[in-house]
Amino acid sequence: MGEGRVLVTGGAGYVGSYLVPKLLSAGYSVNVLDLYLYGSEVLETVRCFPSLREIRGDLRDPKAVDTALEGCSSVIHLACISNDPSFELNPNLGKSINYDAFRPLVRRAKRKGIRRFIYASSSSVYGIKEEPNVTEDLPLAPITDYSKYKALCEKVLEEERAHNFATLILRPATVCGYSKRLRLDLTVNILTNHAINNRQIQVFGGTQRRPNIHIEDMTDLYVRCLDMPSEQIDGGIYNAGYENHQVIEIAEMVRGVVGSSVEIIVKPTDDLRSYHISSSRILDELEFSPKHTIPDAVSDLANAFTAGLVPNSMSADKYYNIKTMQSLELK
């Protein structure tokens, strides 16, 4: 059973809303700091836990951060303006949340006695690599501002690492699968949505590789990293992915689950950028190995659609980060 209180920033987000119930069920007390831009109902089923505290607030607000850190011994930092289009919509806003607020958060955490800080970076920090195995030792070469600030935050956290302040950087692949705060702007989730609701998938190019990890595995990893002795994870940097598949292969997997009547249409594109990562280090050092496949994620999504849990999936803003950010006046 878990011990102590954990702050999850972005705890009402796509990954956070899946992680928070898991932490509570594991015995952890949880503080959530979130703006709840995508709705507060995503945590409705766990509000019965007296060990859950929710702070509606902005990472850039020192008072909100101090309140959120109260009583905690660990932080899992998920909150950010997520994905390149949302970041590019307002680069100054993205920088202020994703980067400018980061060192103040880390330093406040240290002053409040936090002993473990887990940072959700991104596998996109590598940029495009030709090497067959993109390992943690390769130089970072981010090609977007979103990825650049993820990489810069890694450097900040390494600088702030100290005695009794263990740090861990995880570089997740693209997360896939169903969550109550569902995103339908991620490769596997996009293709599944179109397969189920349009009976047609459009693939642009198709030869591009994309690393993915099931949301069940990714959230299991966060819990596992809280459970481990701090000396085992302190200063660690790990890729966290499962398999690197071409987009056309992912489309075929989706069709394999949803049904053979789904049509796959391949269209040309000038953007054939491929991303891939090796997750051998996390297996060797932390003994973490994902257990859920892309077809598993597709099946979970398909079941959610069938159960009516994803209404208006082709049009509702809440499933698409860029649409939600466009409709808000966040500054």
The residue written with tokens 């693209």 in the block is 174
Q: Using CA atoms, how far apart are residues 272 and 22, in angstroms rounded to an integer?
A: 37
Q: What is the pLDDT of residues 145-203, one digit of tens each?
A: 999 999 999 999 999 999 999 999 999 999 999 999 999 999 999 999 999 999 999 99
Are 135 and 84 in contact, with CB atoms under 8 Å apart? no
Q: Using CA atoms, how far apart are residues 326 and 93, in angstroms rounded to an integer?
A: 12
Which residues are registered as beta bridge partners of 77? 9, 119
Domains, the chain: 5-176+213-241+275-292+321-327 (3.40.50.720)
Q: Which segments of the chain have a pLDDT < 70? A: 1
Q: Using CA atoms, how far apart are residues 10 and 16, in angstroms rounded to an integer?
A: 6
Are 142 and 124 in contact, with CB atoms under 8 Å apart? yes
pLDDT value for 61: 98
- In angstroms, what CA-CA distances link 45 with 22, 36, 236, 302? 12, 16, 34, 22
Please choose, from the candidates 155, 71, 66, the residue with its C-alpha nearest in 3D space to the C-alpha of residue 119: 155
pLDDT value for 295: 98
pLDDT value for 114: 98
- State phi, psi for 211 to the nearest 5 degrees: -85, 140
Burial bucket for residue 22 (CB in 10 Å: 0-12, 13-18, 19+): middle
pLDDT value for 330: 83
pLDDT value for 196: 97
